[in-house]
């Protein structure tokens, strides 16, 4: 995965965290991103980024229309999808 793609993924998650205006969420996100940088590279190499990109678009659309329930549901589906892909390997 190109480093630019990884930066975009991290920027996406940071923007979501900052959008909460919750200092705890923002700090936890910062800590997780610093820990998970290497793992994100491995994960995307194994399962690809296509599904993640689609979920990110849908999550942003839900946030744009201020539908927090839909955004939460999509985030859970995004995580479940990644887990299932890993289990298939």
pLDDT tens, position by position, 3-42: 677 788 888 889 999 999 999 999 999 998 888 777 777 7
Q: What is the pTM of this model?
A: 0.69
d(CA 27, CA 58): 24
For 2, phi and psi rounded to 5 degrees?
-65, 145
pLDDT at 44 over 90: no
| Alpha helix segments (H runs only) across 1-89 | 3-19, 23-47, 50-64, 68-88
Q: Are 6 and 46 spatial neighbours (Cβ–Cβ below 8 Å)?
A: no
Q: Which pLDDT value is given to residue 48?
A: 76
Q: Is the pLDDT of residue 62 over 90?
A: yes
| Confidence at residue 83, expressed as pLDDT on a 0 to 100 scale | 86
Q: What tokens were used for 29?
A: 């996100």
């Amino acid at each position: 995965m190109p480093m630019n793609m990884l930066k975009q993924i991290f920027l996406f998650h940071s923007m979501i965290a900052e959008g909460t205006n919750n200092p705890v969420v923002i700090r936890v996100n910062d800590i997780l991103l610093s820990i998970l940088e290497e793992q994100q590279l491995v994960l995307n190499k194994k399962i690809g980024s296509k599904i993640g990109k689609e979920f990110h678009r849908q999550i942003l659309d839900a946030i744009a229309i201020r539908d927090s329930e839909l955004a939460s549901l999509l985030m859970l589906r995004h995580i479940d999808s990644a887990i299932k892909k890993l289990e298939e390997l």
